Chain A
């Protein structure tokens, strides 16, 4: 018989039905454990589903409320005087439809009831149909129409009325005209609560605008034209057709669609960022899944060995556990999606201040399906790393337990899985960020963070092993030895806690950094009240009034507004045509506020070229000074030419000097400074800076000023900083809310990891207790181990966050990196203590188990 060799029939069915049955049977006794693994992805999915559901609802709502975003079919705006040919064009557009005009500018107003003054955005609206869609919401409701039809009436932002203890029926003085307040303004089409906070509006009828006396030469005024077009006219096609003429004339325009895109995009940038924060939480959770599955599979080795003995192929064994992970991934994702859908109920409240539309709350099936699919794919991908080793489990393990039967180091499929994971992260990031480069940076950042933390954990294990302090006491030695024992949690805990710490520290650092950018450097003797729009004729008088009020004139500078016409021979059209030049469009579209003087001021430092304070040759191009970073962005240097359009007159200049400007010093700082002897006769206004000692003094001075010079506006910097702080507070709250998901996931992973290693710890502790160790000693061993792990992970996370904040500051926000390290210590201490606390809380059961019970259980 032995001479007759039978060949094996190699076609063997996979028996999928049985594999599914086995997966289900095998999971019955492990569901609690499996649920714990999967819980780590729940929060990540919840974050993604919440944000994406909210984004989808917002998109739908923007679509639904699109027309009310601008209140018209087409809006044309300009801050220039309208010339006759353009006026003709603007008039012709209204043919067959309707048009409402509005003039906007900022000015001081005076509340007679409370005798308070405030800088507001004045909107002088003509009698007409605006808004054609949506409504100007007011209380009483009729006030939004009444103010423009019934004499000298105004509509005032409701927050202003509250602040100045004023009510409808009281009076408000705008320039030289006193208006009766018709009602409280609650909502303007397309304006968010945040915009209203920054620039609260006061509507007045346009026919009284001239009487206010606020329209003077050099004033910064914008003209808005709202059109209701005939039904047969497509606003987008019309706007597209007129675009070249509008651009040439320096007009901006908005259609329902363009505003819709703009509104959606502005929010989507924030949503993408938040979704990425959620995704980081998910990745963190997946690290937990991978680690938990790794431990799970180690516990399953004996079972897998038996199955292999009984004839189960490597592929079949692998599939049994893959099915379990898929089922748990699916359940985790579904739970996450449900949680996310619940969280999104709260998001409209969270984002209310930023949004120009009312967001309805409804279940977004798309976001839910997306979230479930992403959760399933990511959980399976990460679980694949330990799962793959199942294929290599030898049946010999049944005969020789305790021998290493996993040989996955040379498994090429593992590299494929690594590649697919990275590709998935990259593709996900791309869809969120819409930029290959940013997606690459995000993926690179994730890899670097993971690698740094993993390498550090390994380095620590190596270091402790290599330089083991043999002379230390037993408790310390045992704790240190635990860091590198088989099945240790060092790598997992360092990566998960480290990433969570890095994320939260980065958020803290960036918030502080951005706030410090706008904060006043040193409050003593720094100006806190800025008066602007002072006409040349009023210059002396205003200075005198200021001094009479006992206030110092700290700075008094002229400001001339102008636009850039040409740079190094390139016009706006040239730059738009050749994008390779890398010159930003805004260089030509923005309005420059320029001053002229003969010397540098305290906040400026020479960088390059030669400062020339006065023009010597009136026929030569004017030698000007540019702020160095501005010059860098415009790609101009010393010797390059620029032509400015000073309200109609073209002024050729040459860059002769570059300055570094300390922007966070309260000074009137400028991108462009002209020498004396050129702009003196140009239309201009003046800015005066002073310092008041109290809010009362500031209010009293503003009151007297507004009464004498209605056109002069005052900015209370303390109020601005307060508003800014409030806005940043709201934004940072949103970001922290999302970061909470990462931190919570980190904690879940931590709890999971501690639980997974609990059985091993019970065995060790019981053995130690059997050998005579006291409760205190065992407690100390565990506490010190967690302290080392927590401190190392949190410390690395904090260091990583400094790197990440530097990159964000320099490349994304383009600000100097001057970090405030103060919040890092509490973060470090907090997370380290939390690690120890959770570790000890989970270990408490260990000490309560009688040694005999465990030893018998083992036998």
Chain B
């Protein structure tokens, strides 16, 4: 199995005036292709910051992030954008669909951005897979929260990413809808063989992944293999 995400001695420090504030330090872990992993921790523990660094949305103060064999540390923002387009998929708590685009156009964006032509059918297949083929020409405001998150799932998988980052994917949904979206997320992930990293408060959701990394005060306090893959290992 190949390593998809390799994090070494990761540290992130913000400066407020001359006062440094270290929000993450000494983070080390790596994920293989097809792994699923949950990052859990209390509010302000640094989990979203960690997700942002792993996905190449931000740059670390020290340490390194290697994604799909590409070292992100020295890349410019535009180069990291290219990496995201080629290898990364995103699911957000508040869906983050582009409000001015229809459902299908939202799904097509990552493909079109690569310069691919005739992507309509691919996007329609994905929408059908999430059960929204009929609603393809609806704008986000015309869809419910659950529907929006399903469109978001279709978009996340549209560019066939090697790794998917999900930030509280069910955080804005009611329990029933949340469970449907969870199932869809894991099903799609399994089918595509994508590595999944999700940040959540929801321990039930976290336990559905292969591995749980707990962070507190900016450091990893535990890194365990979950029962979903057999024995729990610390």
Contacts and interface: CB of A to CB of B under 8 A. Distances in A.
Central interface residue in B30, B75, B86, B98, by most chain A CB within 10 Å:
B98
Interface in B74-98: 75, 77-79, 81-86, 88, 90, 92, 94, 96-98
Nearest to A29: B100
Given A5-B70, A303-B99, A315-B78, A310 B112 contact: no
A21 interface: yes
A307 B98 contact: yes
A29 B99 contact: yes
B166 to A, nearest CB: 12
Nearest to A401: B94
B115 A303 contact: no
B101 A396 contact: no
Contacts of B219: none
B86 A28 contact: no
Contact of B30 (A2, A5, A8, A312): A2
Contacts of A87: none
A6 interface: yes
A694 interface: no
B85 A399 contact: no
A309 B82 contact: no
A303 B79 contact: no
B115 A313 contact: no
Nearest to B56: A395
Interface in A67-94: none
A30 B98 CA distance: 13
Interface in A1-57: 1-2, 4-8, 10, 12-13, 15, 18, 21-22, 25-30
Given A8-B75, A396-B52, A303 B90 contact: no
B122 interface: no
Contact of A312 (B83, B92, B113): B113
Given A2-B66, A6-B70, A310-B84, A30 B57 contact: no
A27 B105 CA distance: 14
Interface string B12-54: 0000000000000000001000000000000000001001100
Contact of A30 (B66, B100, B167): B100
B68 interface: yes
Interface string B113-142: 101000000000000000000000001000
A21 B112 contact: yes
B100 A5 contact: no
Contact of A28 (B6, B100, B155): B100
B96 A1 contact: no
Contacts of A25: 100-101, 105
B3 interface: yes
B61 to A, nearest CB: 15
A395 B75 CA distance: 15
A2 B78 contact: no
Central interface residue in B68, B88, B113, B139, by most chain A CB within 10 Å:
B113
A830 interface: no
A469 interface: no
A394 interface: yes
A401 B94 CA distance: 10
Contacts of A307: 98, 109
A316 B85 CA distance: 13
Interface in A803-848: none
Central interface residue in B30, B51, B71, by most chain A CB within 10 Å:
B71
B58 interface: yes
A395 B57 contact: yes
Contacts of B52: 396, 399
A15 B66 CA distance: 27
Report the interface size class on chain A: 35 or more
Nearest to B64: A2
B90 A398 contact: yes
B141 to A, nearest CB: 9
Contacts of B3: 1-2
A308 interface: yes
B129 to A, nearest CB: 19
A483 B118 CA distance: 51
Contact of A311 (B30, B84, B96): B84
Contacts of B84: 309-311, 395
B95 to A, nearest CB: 10
A311 B81 contact: yes
Contacts of A395: 57, 77, 81, 84
Contacts of A22: 109
A303 B85 CA distance: 16
B113 A18 contact: yes
A302 interface: yes
A314 interface: yes
A394 to B, nearest CB: 7
A35 to B, nearest CB: 15
B231 interface: no
Central interface residue in A30, A312, A316, by most chain B CB within 10 Å:
A312
A27 B94 CA distance: 22
Contacts of B66: 2, 5
A31 B84 CA distance: 31
A314 B78 contact: yes
B171 interface: no
A8 B48 CA distance: 26
B100 A8 contact: no
Nearest to A13: B115
A305 B98 CA distance: 10
B110 interface: yes
Contacts of A724: none
Given A309-B90, A311-B81, A314-B78, A399 B98 contact: no
A776 interface: no
Contacts of A18: 112-113, 115
B96 A398 contact: yes
B2 interface: yes
A215 interface: no
Contact of A398 (B79, B83, B92): B92
B77 A314 contact: yes
Nearest to A26: B100
B194 to A, nearest CB: 16
Nearest to B96: A306
A400 interface: yes
A316 B110 CA distance: 13
A394 B113 contact: no
Given A302-B96, A315-B78, A1 B115 contact: no
Contacts of A6: 68-70
A13 B82 CA distance: 11
A316 B84 CA distance: 15
A399 B57 contact: yes
Nearest to B78: A313
A310 B113 contact: yes
Contacts of A28: 100
Given A310-B85, A311-B84, A4 B69 contact: yes
Contact of B69 (A5, A15, A308, A401): A5
A6 B66 CA distance: 9
3 smallest A-B Cβ distances: which pairs?
Answer: A311-B85, A2-B6, A1-B3
Interface of A: 1-2, 4-8, 10, 12-13, 15, 18, 21-22, 25-30, 302-303, 305-316, 394-396, 398-401
Interface of B: 2-3, 6, 30, 48, 51-52, 55, 57-58, 66, 68-71, 75, 77-79, 81-86, 88, 90, 92, 94, 96-101, 105, 109-110, 112-113, 115, 139, 155, 159, 167
23 contacts: A6-B69, A7-B70, A8-B75, A15-B112, A15-B113, A25-B101, A26-B98, A26-B101, A27-B100, A29-B99, A30-B100, A303-B100, A305-B96, A307-B109, A309-B84, A311-B82, A311-B83, A311-B86, A315-B78, A316-B113, A395-B57, A396-B52, A398-B90
Given A18-B113, A25-B101, 18 more contacts: A2-B3, A2-B66, A5-B71, A8-B79, A15-B112, A18-B112, A22-B109, A25-B105, A303-B98, A307-B98, A309-B57, A310-B84, A310-B155, A313-B78, A314-B81, A395-B77, A399-B167, A401-B94
